[in-house]
Copies of this chain bind each other. A is one copy, B any other.
Amino acid sequence: MNRIDIPAGYRPQNTASLKTYLGAIDQIRGRLSGRPEDWRIEEVGDGNLNLVFKVWGPAGGIAVKQALPYLRLVGESWPLPLSRAHFEQLALQEQWRAAPGLVPALLHVDQSMALTVMELLEPHIIMRRGMIEGRVYPRFIDDITTFAAQTHFRTSDLFLTADRKKLLVGTFAGNFELCKITEDLVFTEPYIAAARNRWTTPQLDPYVTRFRADGDLKIAVSRLKLQFIDHAQALIHGDLHTGSVMVTEGDTRIIDPEFAFVGPIGFDLGAVIGNLLLNYLAQDGHEDVPGARDSYREWVLGVVQAFWPEYRRKFLALWREQGAGDAYPKAMFADAAGEERLEIERAAYMARLFGEMIGFAGVKMIRRIFGLAHNIDFEWIAEPARRASCEARAVTLAREMILGSAEIRGPGDLCDKARALRNWNPPLG
């Protein structure tokens, strides 16, 4: 990850240069209207990787995202390829085709500037923030499961012929540097003494020590990592946590697919429920008096519980209706007996996927507590001991999910375990 190709003409934008840049694009001028010098512009990037601007003119607004050649969270010492903007654009296009209206519309792309112009999502906020504030999103379950089922199914071998699938695999193989970040930060570093790790210390020290010495856990995590690397199942978002979802009560948009590649579907599904579980277990740190967030907590767990059956239902419906891909070819199961047998196999396919989802969810939870990148769900709990108790419950649940995923037969089992853990006062270091 050391050499970064910077295209000739690339330069990071600022609010002044961006007005000039955008003012030269007819489509943008038309959309915003008025004079560029009068446009209002704000840099709002709070993510780890990019510059993000919002721009308003008399007739409307746009969002502009520009990749930086290094990891913003860490600084220039961690170079990052600008090509990720290209892969994000490709993924947005695929996702829009599969799930129109559930990702931001793409308005303009500029390869050499690693820059993407999209519709402005207003008054949307990042869902994670809303959830920390205890806000309910009634559309979330329906929208996230439609997004995931559609984008996964339509890029899987159940829908695509093998030639089109290989084209997709080959294209996104170029996004290996973003994959590498996940491989290192999610699957490896939390389990070793890596310099970039951080955790609530000394409270969580015993957990860190124990997890690093847990051979069964490390093997299970490594199996999941190998799947992440070599199971080219479908185009996945690659970073599908609640920080990649922008919401209002009536609208849901999935953003930031720069980690997209053809990988295991369970990784996306696990990211969704893992981050919901983190939020659930973090609520104890946010309520003013014990129990104040009880009903919200149950809403969160209700989402965890509803996510899988709804995803499964939609994915299976697509498979039955549009399963024209090269896997399980229609011609082999054309008669009634064949269709009946195939339906049993569909259930088996989904059961395997459920198990993988649970395992990946566990891995995604641990990395947010022991690794480099943390979640504000926990970070915003000011008191370390209180935060550490929440976090200890989360890593304990996550470990069970990774090791004992076969015992968790459905989302109900998972929610029961999460509920039970809230009554446990974890010993702290």
What residues of chain A have their CB less than 8 Å away from a CB belonging to chain B?
A: 157, 162-163, 165-167, 169-171, 173-174, 176-177, 179-180, 183, 188, 191-192, 213, 215-216, 218-219, 222-223, 225-226, 229-233, 326-329, 331-333, 337-338, 340-342, 344-345
Total copies of this chain within the assembly: 2
A-B pairs with beta carbons under 8 Å apart, 11 shown? A157-B226, A157-B229, A163-B180, A170-B173, A192-B331, A213-B337, A219-B328, A219-B341, A223-B345, A225-B326, A229-B327
Are B163 and A177 neighbours in the complex by a CB distance under 8 Å? yes
CB distance from A195 to the nearest CB of B (A): 12
The 4 closest A-B pairs by CB, nearest first: A170-B173, A215-B341, A166-B176, A166-B173
The docked-state distance in angstroms from the alpha carbon of A177 to that of B163 is 7
Least Cβ distance of A243 to chain B in Å? 24
Among B232, B331, B337, B344, the residue within 8 A (CB) of A232 is B232
The contact of A222 among B192, B218, B327, by CB within 8 Å, is B327
A222 x B173 contact (CB < 8 A)? no
Q: Which residues of B contact A191 (CB under 8 A)?
A: 332
Most B CB atoms within 10 A — which of A191, A215, A344? A215
Q: Is the CB of B328 within 8 A of A222?
A: yes
Tell me the complex Cα distance, A171–B174, Å.
10
Q: Is the CB of A230 within 8 A of B229?
A: no
Assess the A222–B170 pair: CB atoms within 8 A.
no
| Contact A173 B173, beta carbon cutoff 8 Å | yes
Closest-CB distance, A253 to chain B (whole angstroms): 29
Known: A173-B167, A191-B332, A218-B333. A162 touches B341 (CB 8 A): no
In contact, A162 and B328 (Cβ under 8 angstroms): no
Q: Compute how far the CA of A328 lies from the CA of B231 in the bound complex, rounded to whole angstroms.
A: 15
Residues in chain B near residue A342, CB distance under 8 A: 215, 219
A336 to chain B, nearest CB (A): 11
Which residues from chain B contact A188 at a C-beta distance below 8 Å?
Answer: 329, 331-332
A157 touching B230 by the CB < 8 A rule?
yes
Residue in chain B with minimal CB distance to A173? B170
Q: Is B192 a contact of A176 with CB atoms below 8 Å?
A: no
Residues of B within 8 A of A219 (CB): 328, 341-342, 344-345
Pick the contact of A170: B169, B180, B216, B333 (CB < 8 A).
B169
Q: How far is the CB of A263 from chain B (nearest CB, A)?
A: 10
- Give the residues in chain B near A328, CB-CB below 8 Å: 219, 222, 226
**Shortest Cβ distance from A163 into chain B, in angstroms?**
5
Chain B residues, Cβ within 8 Å of A192:
331-332
- Which of B215, B226, B230 contacts A337 (CB under 8 A)? B215
Nearest-neighbor residue (CB-CB) of A219 within chain B: B345
Q: Are A218 and B162 within 8 A (Cβ)?
A: no
Alpha-carbon gap, A344 to B222, bound state (A): 13
Q: Closest B-chain residue to A189, C-beta based?
A: B331
Closest-by-CB residue of B relative to A220 is: B345
Tell me the minimal C-beta distance from A259 to chain B in angstroms.
Answer: 13
Check A176 against B157 for contact (C-beta < 8 Å): no
Measured CB to CB, the closest approach of chain B to A386, in angstroms, equals 31
For A332, the chain B residues whose CB sits under 8 A away are 188, 191-192, 218, 222
| A180 CB contacts on chain B under 8 angstroms | 162-163
Question: Which of these, B183, B225, B326, B331, contacts A229 with CB under 8 Å?
Answer: B326
Determine the residue in chain B with the shortest Cβ distance to A161: B180
Q: Given B163, B165, B230, which contacts A233 in the complex, CB threshold below 8 Å? A: B230
* Cα-based distance from A233 to B222 in the complex (angstroms): 15
A287 CA / B162 CA spacing, docked (Å) = 43
